[in-house]
Amino acid sequence: MHTSPLCDSSQSPGFYCDVSPLDDVTIVTVVGALGRATAHIFAEALAHAMTYGLPIVLECSHLTYIDSFGCRPLLDYRHRLPLITFAGVDRVARNVLETLNLQTVFPIYDRLDAVAPDHPSHPRLPARSAYVSGPKPTIHFRAHGRSQAKTHSSRSA
């Protein structure tokens, strides 16, 4: 179980994942409760993220709950996916992941910026200037399927 509050209370409650490819990593932001009822959404987001062929960082700072059912897609896909790293994982979620012994398969970090750029087995997170190379689409995965892509550009604040 993970109990951090959502940072943006204006968003509607529920589970969703945003897949944002950058130049050298794909960020999958996981928001809400990841369990039996929402694992299929997570699996769809992972399947889409792997199409970019880049290391995947699961940004979990807005995760409110996680259990073994929610982790199942990771285990199902682990041999087909590029490197996956957890970031933004709090103490409670880390306890769940470690109870499932997932720290032996996936690196786990407390903060997104803690993913070490100089370590050879971890993805290098690009600087803000990475957005200058062109707009990057963000695909949203919700209970009712994939939603329209937003495009990030270097002109965004």
Q: Can you say whether the dihedral through the CA atoms of 50, 89, 106, 129 is positive or negative?
A: positive
Q: Tell me the domains of the chain and their CATH numbers.
A: 16-151 (3.30.750.24)
Instruction: Considering only residues 80 and 149, tell me which one the structure prediction assigns the higher pLDDT.
Output: 80
pLDDT tens sequence across 40-68: 999 999 999 989 988 999 999 999 999 99
Tell how strand 136-142 and strand 145-146 pair up.
antiparallel
Q: What pLDDT sits at residue 94?
A: 92
| Inter-CA distances, 82 with 49, 65, 118, Å | 9, 25, 18
Name the pTM for this structure.
0.71
Q: Return d(Cα 17, Cα 139) in angstroms, integer.
A: 8
pLDDT tens sequence across 5-40: 333 333 435 899 999 998 888 999 999 999 999 999
Q: Return d(Cα 146, Cα 25) in angstroms, integer.
A: 21
Q: Return d(Cα 6, Cα 13) in angstroms, integer.
A: 9
> Which ranges constitute the DSSP H helices of the chain?
39-50, 68-77, 91-99
- Whether residue 98 is predicted with pLDDT greater than 80 in this model: the reply is yes
